[in-house]
Amino acid sequence: MPSRRVGSASPTSSRSATRPRSSTRSTSRPLPSEADGLTLHDISSPDADWRPGALATWWAGLPAGPRSFLRRWVNPDNQTRIHLAKLLARRPAQITVGAFTYGRPKVRFPESGARLSIGRYGSIADGVEIFLGGNHRTDWATTYPFPALPGLWPAARGMSGHDTTRGDVAIGHDVWLGSQAMIMSGVTIGHGAVVAARAVVTRDVPHYAIVAGNPARVVRLRLPEVQIEALLASRWWELPSEKVSQLLPLLMSDRVDELAAAIRQASAGGA
């Protein structure tokens, strides 16, 4: 399936072309997401070679009690990988999760074949559900999925057109998914975005946008566009963890310009 660019999240329907307003700066010109062009490859490439080993698969199969007890001594660098280890082991080419992402999302309908890519430094709250399929046709006379139940409806066996997925799901780096958020198939969420609790994301989310509601709509951008562009250019999430540790005083502050300058200086010096 071809890579897709991140577009502006539509506030209403597919027919609406109205661009949501930002409380920081005007979005009359193209958002950084449109110029940067986020793709599945951009997200998965730093960690695409990761595969769950025997320990990760064993860990995922433990009951909650023993796992909680052992967590005192075991601190995996990526809890999401551990949680999804069995699914990743069965579908290594379909699902990738970047380093240091944490959370226990529920991945629905992986049998649809759609791919899921989650970037680095993701924060996934409890109850998040990611749908790779499960859609029904609303433009037909019935929404009932006859072809999905060939045992009951042999005459529907082999009938095409009742696709259950709208495409791959790509979640960028440094994304925060709030409690009980639902991410539908075919959606791309840009770097640095925030999805509010219980939001239902049915359309692409721009970089560093905050979205909320059902369907999720852009509330505002997290930062001024010039700072968003600087962070996207810095690609700080790809730095070695030792360098990230050095940058923590700037990362955990609103001194975005200083952070971008420090990364540029380090890159220029070959650090």
Q: Which residues are catalytic?
A: 136
Contact at 8 Å (CB) between 175 and 195? yes
Cβ neighbors of 110 (< 8 A, separation 6 or more) are 87, 91, 94, 95, 116, 132, 133
The secondary structure of residue 8, as a DSSP letter, is: P
Cβ neighbors of 239 (< 8 A, separation 6 or more) are 247, 263
Nearest residue to 7 via CA among 43, 38, 28, 40: 38
Contact at 8 Å (CB) between 201 and 182? yes
Residue 62 to residue 58: CA distance in whole angstroms: 7
Residue 149 to residue 77: CA distance in whole angstroms: 41
If one counts every other C-beta atom within 10 angstroms of the C-beta of residue 176, the result is 18
Read out DSSP for 220-266? EESS-HHHHHHHHHHTGGGS-HHHHHHHHHHHTSS-HHHHHHHHHHH
Nearest residue to 86 via CA among 64, 61, 108: 61
Question: What element of type H or E holds 59?
Answer: helix 54-61
Three-class secondary structure of residue 195 per DSSP: strand
